[in-house]
Chains A and B, each alone.
Chain A
Amino acid sequence: MTATVPRPPSARPALSALRDRVIRFAELATTPLLPADYLDMVNPLRAGADLRGRIVAVHRETRDAATLVIRPGADWQRHVPGQWVRIGIDVDGVRMWRAYSLTSHLDRPDGCISITVKAIPGGKVSNHLVHRTQPGTLVHLDQATGEFVLPAQAPAKVLFVTAGSGITPVMGILRNHDELTDVVVVHSAPTPEDVVFGADLRELAAAGRIRLIEQHTDTAGMLDAAAIAELVPDLAERATWACGPVGMLEALEEHWSAAGIADRLFTERFRPTVLVAGEGGTVTFTKNGTSIEADGATPILDAAEDAGVLMPSGCRMGICFGCVLPLREGAVRDLRNGEVTTAAPGDGVLIQTCISAAAGACDIDH
């Protein structure tokens, strides 16, 4: 391994200069490997290592959801409740990355964090995490990120509208913001048993911390925005955070903007919506020398990874810009809105590979 990892700045410059010199000398002795490659054998969670975590416990929440307690590496920075973390785990030997909301108390005495995962049908990673992951497994992490958080000054009255695993960032917020006193949670799940954190939510409701409206969609059907407005009459006075399927979020956005309170609604999407697909094309990675045939509905990131190309990646939904690469020549289509971006030779237009599909032959500088 030749890639060097930027080292966190040390508080004491003299000491850090000495440290750097020692590391440089160690590099001369370990080349072509890095000293870190050897240190990782002993302590993969140490300061200065690539950020990793070790799963210490797996708690079942429902028949298809589980909370994974993870001891993060020393360089883990405190997250803000409501944020998500990208986690890389080897499924059948293949490293896969997904984003999950953090659900833990910030100040757990053991310093661990937790994510809560709902297995989605056919979901490779979610099923592996929920059903097959063993304590002791090493996982790869990014620092937490995301905008689905409360402002510095928490609002007096709050409404959370969630469905399915959409409850997870909200649980992360509820567990860490005791100062919220006037909270309504409207949550939809197929049956009472399918409510992730059902017991915790009912307990909070019993203790009077939240007003809980559970909608069991198998028997009672889906809640539309108008029904929510009826159930929560003071909706306009509340700051609202919503997390769930795209259809639900769009209906809410429509209702809130019709009511002239669009600025009081904050939403979090879990997956990008593919709206427009077109013709694909041959994607060539010029530095790497690999060429792949990509169809017009598959993100270039996924197509490249399936062909064994090592790609930078991030949230995989067009938010974090962790996957951006220069398009030297060719055309790509934004899968969210069908917009086509073209690059003339030498342009080097930066494209997000996670939401861009080939729209003809593409040369990507990677």
Chain B
Amino acid sequence: MSEKVLMKGNEAIAEAAIIAGCRHYFGYPITPQTEIAAYMAKRMPKIGGTFLQAESEIAAINMVYGASAAGMRVMTSSSSPGISLKSEGISYIAGADLPAVIVNAQRGGPGLGGIQPSQSDYFQATRGGGHGDYHMIVLTPASVQEMAELTVKAFDLADKYRMPVMILADGTIGQMMEPVSFDFKLNEPPAKPWATNGTKMQREHNIINSLYLKPLDLEVENMKRFERYEIVKQNEPMYEEYMTDDADIILAAFGIAARVCKNAIKKARKEGIKVGLIRPITVWPFPNEPFEKAVKTCKAIISVELSMGQLIEDVRLATGGKVPVTLCNRVGGMIPEPEEILEEIHRVANGG
């Protein structure tokens, strides 16, 4: 499939997962991600894979836990309220050091919220969501092509670091169609000697577990896990810089918000205002480097997001108060228009 095809973002995730060797998918219907389940339901039986519609989000993530424990590349997908339900299982997956890929096509919240696009699960994705000290690697695609590429990357990262990886998308990127090419370089999944797939009477039994009743044992496990997280922080931050070289004002945004920012930047540049964009592609680990660099030359940063201000906290941590950081946002399923961002750019350019 090297030729470009037109596909919805959600479908691109599903196809890319299959290309990456995922043969087990467990999910539960929820808008706006149901295309992923529908695609898997159609394709999996034809390639010897498993698609199973679980009785709940909770059951689905625990099926993922089981299949991952058995050594499989496995995925589930949902949207915001469903991810809350899955958070229990995600914590267990992290605690048992299992690889898994979880897709969140975000919609508005809290509660049942709405079904239109949102980025308000940023804290949930980057700060936990479930209980305990743990992290997921969180990838934020901004195009259908990235939906596909980052899905393949998600499986590689999950296996490499034995941890859950979330694709933090939104309703827009999931629902829109763009040309996409599935011409990837694929990596062999690593061997999984830890998997519970039967001892074959040739080794000691493996145990997949997150329970450590002795405090010291649990402390050691947590410390070891965080040493691994440090390596992830060193190696894996990803970001895109757009017209930042000479920028006085830098926009920080991911996903669909970053796409809108590019329109605003073009408009601002026509007016002679030098604006650029830093687009984190991983939001955990957060790409601090481009922000640390930017504060040396830029005058202000605007965090553009579909939430009440969540990304902005990481931007502030990364910039250490060296330049003012302001918020430009819409929520509830609304998306800021380029003109609204331009207005904030004007305000900041005129000294805020």
Report if A and B associate in a common complex: no
Give residues in A with beta carbon < 8 Å to B. none
